[in-house]
Amino acid sequence: MKEANRVTTSALVACLLFFGFQAERSYPGDGRLTPETVVSRHLQSIGSAELLARAQSRVFIGATKVRFHQGSLGELSGLGQFASEGRKLGMLFRYDGQDYRGEHFAFDGKDVTVGRFLPGKISILAEFVNRFDELMKQGLLGGALSLAWPLRNPEEIRRRLKYDEAKLGGRPVHALEYRAKGNLADFKILMFFEPETFRHIRTEYRLHISAAITGVFAIGTDKPDTYYVLSEEFANFKEVDGLTLPHRYTIGYSSEGQARTFLAYWTIDAEQWQHNGNIDPLMFTAGDVGSY
C-alpha cells in the first residue's frame, strides 16, 4: 500500500488535468425535453413511487480507494460506509495510512461536521465540504443514493432547474443546471443523465473566485484566480430491494489558483446494503477518523 507523498507540480499541468475532465456542453435550443420530464424519467429509472417511498433509511459498505494526482501522490485502500436517513447523511472513507486516515462527512439534520484525518487536522476536501455545508444541507451530495436528493421532490425545486444537452466523454447526455441557494449561489452546478435510461451519472460543482475579489495581492504581482471543482460520479448500476442504484460512487476534488494545486479521487464500491435498518448515530456526527 502506498503512502501519499507531497509532490511539486506546475499549475499549468494541474489545470490541464483538471479541466480535461469537464463536460463539453452544447445548447441546441430545440426544447425537446423539459426539466420536469428529465426528473420524472430519472425517478422512474430508480424504481416505482411505492418503493421509493418505502425506503426510509439506506446504508451500504464496501471497499474504498483514494488516488492522489496533484498536491500529493499515491494511493490508499480501505473500507467505506454510506448512510442516509431522512435529511441526515454520513459518508466515511477509512484508510490505513500513517499520515492520512481518511474522511468523514456528516449531517445530523441540523449541522454539518467533518472528520479529522489526524488529530486536529482536516483535509483540503473536508475544509471545502465544511465551508460549503449547503452541499449536504440541500441534499445534493450523494445524488440519488441520498434520501434527501432534491430531485425526489420536483415540485419544490422545478424553478431551480434548466435543461440543456451535453456530452460526456464524447457521448450525448441530458444535463440539468441546478441553481442552488445559500452559500452555493455562486456555484455552477450541472447534473448529467444517461440519454436512454435517465440514470443520474455525474454532478459537477464549479466555483470561480476572482483574485480581484479576494484582494490578496502583493504590489507588483499578478495573482491568479482560484478554481474549485467538486465532482460526483455514479456507475455500476444494479438492483437492490427493487431499486436500481449505483454501486460505484466517486468523489473528485480539484483546486487550482492562489493556493496549492490539488487533484484527488475517492471511490467506494458498495458490497453490502440495508434499507430501513438501524443506523449508528455516530455516522451523522464526525470526529477523528483514526479513532473509529
* All three cell numbers of 264: 484527488
Note down pLDDT in tens along the chain; length 292 residues: 444 333 333 333 333 333 334 444 443 445 579 999 999 999 999 999 999 999 999 999 999 999 999 888 899 999 999 999 999 999 999 998 889 999 999 999 999 999 998 888 899 999 999 999 999 999 999 999 999 999 999 999 989 999 998 999 899 999 999 999 999 999 999 999 999 999 999 999 999 988 765 554 444 456 788 899 999 999 999 999 999 999 999 999 999 986 678 999 999 999 999 999 999 999 999 988 867 6
* All three cell numbers of 173: 447526455
Q: Domain of 72?
A: 5-291
Dihedral (Cα; 291, 140, 13, 15), 10-degree rounding: -140
pLDDT of residue 222: 61
At 228, the amino acid letter reads Y
Q: CA triplet 20, 21, 27: central angle to 5 degrees?
A: 95
DSSP annotation of 124: H
Of the candidates 248, 264, 204, 258, the residue with the CA atom closest to the CA atom of residue 25: 204
Specify the CATH number for the domain of residue 166: 2.50.20
At 66, the amino acid letter reads V
Structural Rg of the chain based on CA atoms: 19
Determine whether 209 is exposed, middle or buried from the number of CB atoms within 10 Å of its CB (0-12, 13-18, 19+): middle
Residues 6+ apart with CB under 8 A from 95: 64, 66, 76, 77, 78, 101, 102
C-alpha distances in Å from residue 11, one per residue of 32, 124, 206: 40, 17, 18
* All three cell numbers of 261: 494545486
Which secondary-structure segment (H or E) carries 204?
A: strand 200-209
* All three cell numbers of 178: 441546478
Q: Which residue has the cell 504590489?
A: 219
Structural domains of the chain, count? 1
pLDDT of residue 89: 98
Counted residue by residue, the chain has a size of 292
C-alpha distances in Å from residue 258, one per residue of 102, 141, 214, 255: 25, 26, 10, 9
Phi then psi for residue 143, to 5 deg, are 55, -140
pLDDT of residue 211: 77
At 285, the amino acid letter reads T
